[in-house]
Amino acid sequence: MPSFSHLPEEQIDQIMDFLYADPQAAAKETIDPDFVPQDYTFRGFTKFLDLNGYPAVKPPWGMLSAIDINRGEILWQTAIGELEELTQQGIPPTGTPLFGGPTVTAGGVVFMGGSADAKFRALDKETGDILWESKLPFAAYSNPSTYEINGRQYIVIAAGGGGKNRTLSGDVYVAFALPASNL
């Protein structure tokens, strides 16, 4: 095992014993004799997907909603994210499961990432209409932040993907300067 030349022979033997051991035998040794089977077992959070790997519920699968909490009314809802392979088949944007939230500027622009299509969007706060979008190098499963330098407002988002929603992994921050009219 050339990759482990720094290990003493005894440790190499232990690794080899582990690799060649019968996994069932090891499992039997660790079972608690007082174990009582349960009707249900938690196996982590699984997703309800169809055979193609899409959410097995009716779209939209990712939605940004504006709610008037004083009246308890939904003001608007916009699907966030699209699966290009479905859009090419004539299916309207479905939204994608979202991992991240929005940031709203004083100028009335809502910024949202979080979708599997790796797009960063700006929406009108009053209508939910998409004003602008930009393709990021990786999906941005994060909340955007805003900051100001020398009187100019910027919006920044971490784009790292990370394997969620079958997306590539990366590690970048992407910042945009807001137009002066949106300050």
- Per-residue pLDDT of 42-101, as tens digits, reads 777 778 888 888 899 999 999 999 999 999 999 999 999 999 999 999 998 899 999 999
Most confidently modeled range among 7-21, 35-49, 102-116: 102-116
The pTM (predicted TM-score) of the whole model is 0.72
At 24, is the pLDDT very low, low, confident or very high (cuts 50, 70, 90)?
Answer: low
Shortest CA distance to 30 belongs to which of 39, 38, 21? 21
DSSP collapsed to 3 states, 67-134: EECCCCEEEEEEECCCCHHHHCCCCCCCCCCCCCCCEECCCCEEEECCCCCCEEEEEECCCCCEEEEE
Long-range contacts of 125-130 (CB under 8 A, 24+ apart): 125/66, 127/76, 128/64, 128/66, 128/75, 128/76, 128/77, 128/78, 129/78, 130/78
At 1, is the pLDDT very low, low, confident or very high (cuts 50, 70, 90)?
Answer: very low
- pLDDT computed for residue 12 by the predictor: 83
Q: Do β-strands 119-124 and 130-135 pair in parallel, antiparallel, or remain unpaired?
A: antiparallel
- Per-residue pLDDT of 119-175, as tens digits, reads 999 999 999 999 999 999 999 999 999 999 999 999 999 999 887 677 888 999 999
- List Cβ neighbours of 156 (8 Å cut-off, separation of 6 or more): 144, 145, 146, 147, 173, 174, 175, 176
Provide the residue ranges of all domains of the chain, joining segments of one domain with +. Answer: 63-176
Q: In which region does residue 90 sit, left (phi positive, over 0), alpha (psi from -120 to 50) or beta (all else)?
A: left
- pLDDT computed for residue 31 by the predictor: 60
- pLDDT computed for residue 69 by the predictor: 95
Q: For the domain 63-176, what is the CATH code?
A: 2.40.10.480
